Amino acid sequence: SNLMLLSRALFVMEGLGKQLDPDFNMVSQLRPFAEQIIKDRYSPSNLAKETAQTLQSYHALGKSLPKDIKEFINRVNRNKFKIDLEHRGLERLVNDLDKSTNRISFSMVIGALIIGSSLIMQIDKGPMLFGFPILGLLGYTVAGFLGFGLAIAILRSGRM
């Protein structure tokens, strides 16, 4: 994206230069600067300096790597190996799973109320209302209210 911004800036500058001077040539103006940058970057002294720094880094790595590997193996052997895991962006997933689990649990309770009420409706004993056991009717009523509340919560979330 930075390269795109640089390209766009160069095109704008070239357009402005052409408006001010129709004979303006951006490439010929930038060529000396680009050549100097390339000369500096790939000069023998700069390449030697970068090579020396790289070799120094590899030398330091070569000295510390055996010790680090030995320490790692010792920790694993002593069961002192610890991994710190940092998750990013999983909070939303955890919240969604939590909501889904709660809805499933709530649905199971509603289903159990309906099944239990259906079994109670088969019994002809106990207090009755319109020829049906009051406890069975109460179970259906509670299941209906809970189911209605669950449906409203699902519809409000916007996800079926």
Question: Phi/psi class of residue 89: alpha, beta or left (left: φ > 0; alpha: ψ in -120 to 50)?
Answer: left
Q: How far apart are CA 139 and CA 111, in angstroms?
A: 11
Q: Would the pTM of this model clear 0.95, i.e. be above it?
A: no
Residues near 65 by Cβ (< 8 Å), separated by ≥ 6?
A: none
Residue with tokens 């179970």: 139
**How confident is the model over 107-156, as pLDDT tens digits?**
888 899 899 888 888 888 878 888 888 888 899 999 999 899 888 888 88
Inform me whether the pLDDT recorded for 79 exceeds 70.
yes
What are the extents of the domains in the chain?
2-77, 90-157
* Alpha-carbon distances of 80 from 44, 50, 67, 70, rounded to whole Å: 49, 39, 17, 13
The pair of three-digit structure tokens given for residue 133, joined into one six-digit string: 């056991």
